[in-house]
Structure 1
Amino acid sequence: MKLVDSHCHLDRLDLSKHDNSLEAALQQARDAGIEEMLCVGIDMEAMEPMLALVEAHEGVYASVGVHPNEHDGHDPSIEELIELSKRPKVIAIGETGLDYFRSEGDLTWQRDRFRRHIEAAKQVNKPLIIHTRESSADTLQILEEEGAEAVGGVMHCFVEDMETAQRALDIGFYISFSGIVTFKNAKELKEVAKQVPLERMLVETDSPYLAPVPHRGKPNQPAYTRHVAETIAELREIPLEQLAEATTDNFHKLFKFS
């Protein structure tokens, strides 16, 4: 059985939990069946070391972009994102999107940055990794206005309702579930996980954040992708192997491995 962690931040793991070794964390993931993972960029200042880390490890891929909450660092141009996308093993643009929970005031800068990421993705024909928090209506409107359907992508760490999921599905996006789906109070999200078509679903950790049950409140890691997959398989009343095969195939289709 093979699983993919479709969204993690390997450069931000607490390696003291793994004998100070990224290799130990990656081996623990492989032991749990997670053979591939996507390490997602969130700021320009950490981009080069993150890309070097990815290039040094088999089965690890990268995306390039700046998180919507990152305000004080360098804000990349379309041309800079395009140039970064040419680096080995870069398979996506992001994470990008909108976040009205952590950022306040006039967020025109956030929406402008989001549009630049979409344009870069279209120019290099690579899918988008979308972050949205308390901003789903504007996020989807901008995706539609900018023609993001041309490249598609994934709504990462999805926590919205089925109506929002369906609107994203309608423009060719995949829905990715994180450890939040394992939380007891995530009743609405569990219902969404039952309804999203299996052929349009991904699983992730967003590690080192949002560790699933039974590790909630502790540092997350790619190995815990299995807990997310087990929960969704149980909710859908299907074998874990079926869920794993589908989400792995989806990852390869979305990111143009085949």
Structure 2
Amino acid sequence: AEGGFNASTEESLTYHAGTTVAFRVLKLRIDGDSLDVYHKTRSLIESTSSPKNQLTGLAQLSEGTRLIFLQTFLEILSSCDDLPDLELMLYQMHEGLQPDLQALHQMEDKNRASIERLLDLLGIRKADPSGQPLTLSPQQNGIIETVATLIQSLNVLHPDTAIQLATSIEMKILPIQLKLMAKIEERCLKSKDFINQLDPVANVQETEESLETLVLQLTDKEFEVTQEILEDFGFLLKRETASISYDIDSDLQNLFCHIFVALYILSTIAI
């Protein structure tokens, strides 16, 4: 191949009779003399559109509609098995196309009902053929972008973290957790990279509350759930002294961005 890229065009594989083989299809893009293979979703948080559109598309909805979205997300968080399929559908919608809904037929009834309700909230008609260009309003496109960003972040988190997020929603402690994450990023990672990608909707930029003050706002059970989330990312928060210790590598630090994004988006619609 040109451009110094070597590629094999043929490869043979041998399987025993009766072997079940699963295939994963990735999108292929050839651009000039470079060859890029990338996953079905791109990192929306790093795209050229503004973080405000990515993260606050749901915030301007009526209280009743936000509550329906929140309840739907709670149901989806209770079982993460279908997040990859939902992520692919949202990627297609983000590209302006009617999603392929064939995966719905393979889902359990409860999970399918939740995802079908979400698609309905996003203005998707199940009867339309896949691949057809979508005709949606700018507001609908903004909401799709926000939901796609949320689901992408949820899909890379550990399933236990998703369950803890659902518990946090029910406990109504997302705003405190988000402020805690901001303080931990500043104190432990010596950075405000994630904070600076957010707008003032969640009120985390200039909070005067200290780490110690935020910890004291949590009940014992609320602290336990919050600590379990933090442990997934290598942080240990001690309630007695409100001190934080950590053992975090670059992979966990990248994942930390996704819990930040998930907390932020969910906090904009939490009632």
- TM-score when scaled to structure 2? 0.21
Higher helix share: 2
| Larger Rg computed on CA atoms | 2
Which has the larger share of strand? Answer: 1
TM-score, normalised with respect to structure 1: 0.22
